[in-house]
């Protein structure tokens, strides 16, 4: 029951992050870009750190250092590639003015699928170890903040009212809770440990294919340095958390 409470509370907290997008209404696009890109870099570092310092080692410990771990890692990586190909799903949405109204619905659908998979992954992490669940949740949260900021901006620029954008963005985020409850429900019948390397593959794809390309498009040395330091901050944070949790 304690694990179930962890899953539900962490899922609800993750869903409420969708409401953070409302702050984009206060900023101009140029200001949003300045705020968003360092967050994207930090998110990329957090996802890489979560996948490499925590999820992959936990997968090997739970499933053994066999081929299955790396097969599920690749499946997680490839699935997100397929989702992006067919749903035109981009995590950062750094140019909101370029998107048209029909794509806003695709964004909500894609985010709903993404959050559902995230709920499965975080829920499975809590089932293996509460500490691993917390780490996975932190890495996922670091990614959700810039994503939700971007998503809300896209919906507003696509013609949505602010209240509608907030409501439907929050609704799509609730699929995270659904994923967590489902994985807990089936955990007594099947070993959900395979979802950990699967989620690590998701994290690696998001960081490498979606986030890092967004932060390496600048000629300014100062901006590039800020992005590099932000990425390293995410990596170092997850490394420190790993060392602290391992110590305890």
- Quote the pTM value: 0.82
Residue 130 lies in a domain: yes
User: Which pLDDT score, from 0 to 100, does residue 124 have?
Assistant: 93
Are 152 and 144 in contact by the 8 Å Cβ rule? The answer is: no
Cβ neighbours around 229 below 10 Å, total = 14
Q: Under 8 Å CB-to-CB from 64, ≥6 apart: which residues? A: none
Mean local confidence (pLDDT), 54-61: 92
User: Which pLDDT score, from 0 to 100, does residue 123 have?
Assistant: 94
Mean local confidence (pLDDT), 92-107: 58
Mean local confidence (pLDDT), 143-149: 79
Residue 25 lies in a domain: no
H helix and E strand count, the chain: 10, 0
- Between 98 and 230, the higher pLDDT residue: 230
Confidence of residue 64 (pLDDT cuts 50, 70, 90): very high
Confidence of residue 84 (pLDDT cuts 50, 70, 90): confident
User: Which pLDDT score, from 0 to 100, does residue 101 have?
Assistant: 59
pLDDT tens-place string over residues 7-56: 999 999 998 887 887 776 677 767 766 777 888 889 899 999 999 999 99
User: Which pLDDT score, from 0 to 100, does residue 248 have?
Assistant: 47
Residue 23 lies in a domain: no
Q: Under 8 Å CB-to-CB from 155, ≥6 apart: which residues? A: 21, 104, 107, 108, 164, 165, 168, 169
Q: How far apart are alpha carbons 157 and 165 in whole angstroms?
A: 10
pLDDT tens-place string over residues 221-244: 888 899 999 999 999 999 998 888
Confidence of residue 199 (pLDDT cuts 50, 70, 90): very high
Instruction: Report how many domains make up the chain.
Output: 1
Q: How far apart are alpha carbons 149 and 53 in whole angstroms?
A: 27
- Between 91 and 227, the higher pLDDT residue: 227
Confidence of residue 94 (pLDDT cuts 50, 70, 90): very low
Percent of the chain residues past pLDDT 90, beyond the cut: 43
Average pLDDT, the chain: 84
- Structure-derived torsion over alpha carbons of residues 42, 212, 169, 172, reported in degrees to the nearest 10: -110
Distances (CA, A) of 197 to 7, 39, 114: 19, 25, 16
Mean local confidence (pLDDT), 80-106: 63
Q: Is the pLDDT of residue 109 over 90?
A: no
**Interhelix angle 101-128/195-205, nearest 10 degrees:** 140
Q: How far apart are alpha carbons 196 and 34 in whole angstroms?
A: 33
Q: Quick one: which of 126, 101, 104 has its CA closest to 192?
A: 126
Identify the domain containing residue 176 by its residue range.
Answer: 2-17+30-247
Residue 22 lies in a domain: no
Percent of the chain residues past pLDDT 70, beyond the cut: 87
């Amino acid at each position: 029951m304690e694990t179930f409470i962890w899953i539900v509370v962490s899922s609800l907290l993750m869903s409420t992050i969708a409401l953070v997008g409302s702050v984009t209404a206060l900023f101009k696009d140029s200001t949003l870009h300045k705020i968003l890109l360092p967050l994207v870099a930090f998110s990329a570092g957090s996802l890489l750190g979560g996948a490499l310092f925590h999820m992959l080692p936990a997968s090997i410990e739970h499933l053994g250092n066999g081929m299955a771990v790396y097969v599920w890692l690749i499946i997680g990586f490839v699935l997100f590639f397929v989702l992006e190909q067919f749903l035109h799903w981009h995590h950062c949405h750094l140019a909101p003015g370029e998107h048209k109204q029909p794509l806003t619905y695709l964004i909500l659908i894609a985010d709903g699928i993404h959050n559902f998979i995230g709920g499965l992954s975080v829920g499975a992490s809590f089932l293996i170890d509460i500490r691993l669940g917390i780490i996975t949740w932190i890495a996922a949260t670091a990614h959700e903040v810039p994503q939700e900021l971007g998503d809300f901006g896209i919906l507003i620029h696509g013609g949505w009212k602010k209240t509608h954008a907030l409501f439907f963005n929050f609704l799509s985020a609730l699929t995270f809770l659904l994923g967590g409850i489902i994985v807990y429900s089936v955990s007594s019948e099947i070993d959900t440990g395979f979802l950990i390397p699967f989620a690590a593959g998701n994290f690696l794809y998001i960081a490498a294919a979606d986030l890092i390309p967004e932060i390496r498009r600048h000629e300014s040395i100062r901006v590039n340095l800020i992005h590099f330091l932000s990425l390293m901050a995410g990596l170092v944070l997850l490394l420190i958390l790993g060392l602290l949790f391992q110590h305890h």
